[in-house]
Amino acid sequence: MTNKTFHTTETAWCPGCGNYDIVNTLAGVLDDMRFKPSELLLVGGIGQAAKLNQYVNANGFSGLHGRALPAAVAAKMVNESLTVIVNTGDGDSYGEGGNHFLHNIRRNVDITHFAHDNQIYGLTKGQTSPTSDSCSVDRTGACNLSKPFQPLLIALAAGATFAARTFSGNREHMAKVMKAAIRHKGYALVDILQPCVSFNKVNTFGYYKEHTYELEGDYDATDLETALLRSMEYGPKIPIGIFYQVEKPTYHQQRPAIYDGTPMIDKQLSQDTLQTFLNKFA
C-alpha cells in the first residue's frame, strides 16, 4: 500500500483477484481527493466485491445482498455532508438488487456506485450472473442463456446522469473515472470490469486487457443518443470511459424546502411546533 490515510487491511480475496486493484486505486483516489475518513461512507451489499468497505479506513456499512443502494441513498438523504460510495458486485447490483438499481437511478441521489463486474457470482462459487457472457460465445463455466444484462444501457434508459465503464487492470483509467464519478453531482454508476481468477476463466485479465479500449478523445459524453448506442458496443471490442454525464437536479436539490444544506440529522422538530400542530385537531 502506497497510501496512508485510507490504508487497506488484509483481505479474504483470492490472490490475483481484480478487487485488489480496485481497493488500492480507490484508496489512492480518496487520498488524492483529500477526504477525511470520517466524512466518507462506504456501503456494500454481500459478495466478494461488497467486502471492500471492510478493508478501507472509512465509515462502513455492509448491508444485505442486493440492498446496498437503498441503505446508501437513505444515509445520504439524512446527512448530505457524507460522501457516500457503494462498492458491490454485479450479482448484487443487477440481480438481487435490480429493482433498487432502476429506481435509485431515477431518484438521482448524489452517491457513487462502483459495480465490480466480474460477470459471475464469486462468493457463492461461480454461478451465472446477469452480466455473464452469452452462451453462444463458446465457453465452459457460467454463461447466460438469457440475454446478458447491459448495465450502462439500462442505467441510461432509467435516466442515469453519469454512466461509465472502466477496467480494474487499467488503474490509471480507473482512477480518473472514479474521481469524475465521485465529483459528479447525482447518482454516478461505474461498471468496473474485474477479473475473478477463481471462477471466471473466460473474462480474465488478459481478456479484458485485449478487448477494452478507451472512448475517443473527442467523444461527446453529453449526448444521450450516442451514449445509448456506444453502450451497446460489447463484444470483440469493449469501450471504457465516461459514456454519459449531464447535470440534473439531485434528489436534494429538487426538495429545497426540506434540504437546505444543514444535514437533516442536525435538525429537530421542536415540541412547540408540534404542540401548535396538535391544536388543529381540536
Partner 1 sequence: MNICIGGAAGDGIETMAGILEKTLQRSGYYVYSMRDFMSRIRGGHNFAQIRFDSEPVKAHIDALDILIAYDNRTYDEHQKRLKPDGLLLCDPQLGVSDSRTLPIKLKTLAKESGSARTIGVVCIGALVKLLGLDLRTAETVLRETLPEKLLDMNLTAVQKGFDSVEQKQTLASPNVKGQLLLTGAEAMSLGALAGGLRFYSAYPMSPSTSLLNFFAAHAEEFGLTVEQAEDEIAAINMALGASYAGAKAMVGTSGGGFSLMVEGLGLAGIAELPVVIVDVQRPGPATGLPTRTEQSDLLFACFASQGEFPRMVITVRDHPDAFYQTARALQLAQKYQIPVLLLSDQYLADSAAIVAPPDIGKAVQSVSPLKQDEGGAEAYLRYAFTDSGVSPMRVPGKTDALVRSDSDEHTEEGTITESAEVRVQMVDKRARKLELLAGELLEPAYTGAEDPDVLLVGFGTTTNAVAEAVIRLNKHGVSIGALAFGDVYPLPTKELRNYWGKAKAVYSVEQNATAQLNKLIRMETNLSCTDSILKYDGRQLSVDDILHGLAAFGIGGEVPA
Ligand X SMILES: Cc1ncc(C[n+]2csc(CCOP(=O)(O)OP(=O)(O)O)c2C)c(N)n1
Near ligand SF4 in 195-214, by CB under 6 A:
196-199
Stretch that binds Mg ion, among 26-34, 115-123, 132-140, 239-247 (CB under 5 A): 115-123
Residue 159 contacts partner 1 per CB under 8 A: no
State the binding partner of 277 from ligand SF4, partner 1, its own copies, none, CB within 5 to 8 A by kind: partner 1
Task: Identify which of 110, 145, 108 has the alpha carbon closest to the alpha carbon of residue 130.
Answer: 145
HSE (side-chain half, CA atoms, 13 Å) at 236: 0
The Cα 39–Cα 185 span in angstroms is 17
Residue 115 contacts ligand X per CB under 6 A: no
Stretch that binds ligand X, among 72-80, 86-94, 156-164, 214-222 (CB under 6 A): 86-94
Total residues belonging to the chain: 282
Residue 188 contacts residue 112 (beta carbons within 8 Å): yes
Residue 220 contacts its own copies per CB under 8 A: no
User: Among residues 114, 121, 149, 187, which is the contact residue for ligand X, using CB under 6 A?
Assistant: 121
Residue 116 contacts ligand X per CB under 6 A: yes
Considering the complex, state which of residue 96 and residue 110 has its C-beta at the smaller distance from ligand X: 96
Residue 131 contacts Mg ion per CB under 5 A: no
Residue 37: Cβ-neighbour burial (10 angstroms; 0-12, 13-18, 19+): middle
In the structure grid, which three cell numbers stand for residue 271, read together? 415540541
Sign (positive or negative) of CA dihedral 25, 188, 158, 91: positive
Task: Identify which of 168, 175, 237, 172 has the alpha carbon closest to the alpha carbon of residue 197.
Answer: 168
User: Among residues 21, 90, 110, 191, which is the contact residue for ligand X, using CB under 6 A?
Assistant: 90
Amino acid making up residue 45: G
State the binding partner of 91 from ligand SF4, ligand X, its own copies, none, CB within 5 to 8 A by kind: ligand X
Site for ligand SF4 in 110-149 (CB under 6 A): 118, 122
Stretch that binds partner 1, among 76-84, 157-165, 187-195, 200-208 (CB under 8 A): 76-84
Number of residues that bind its own copies (CB under 8 A): 33
Mask of contacts with its own copies, 120-139, x by CB under 8 A? ----------x---------
Amino acid making up residue 137: V
Mask of contacts with its own copies, 226-265, x by CB under 8 A? --xx--x---------------x--x--xx----------
Q: What is the C-alpha radius of gyration for the chain, rounded to an integer number of angstroms?
A: 20
Q: Give, in order, the Cα–Cα distances in Å from 166 to each of 66, 118, 170, 200.
A: 22, 12, 8, 18
Least Å distance between CB 212 and its own copies? 21
Task: Identify which of 160, 159, 144, 165 has the alpha carbon closest to the alpha carbon of residue 230.
Answer: 165
Is residue 26 helix, strand or coil?
helix
Q: Which residues bind its own copies (CB under 8 A)?
A: 95-96, 98-99, 102-103, 105-108, 130, 144-150, 153-154, 156-159, 224-225, 228-229, 232, 248, 251, 254-255
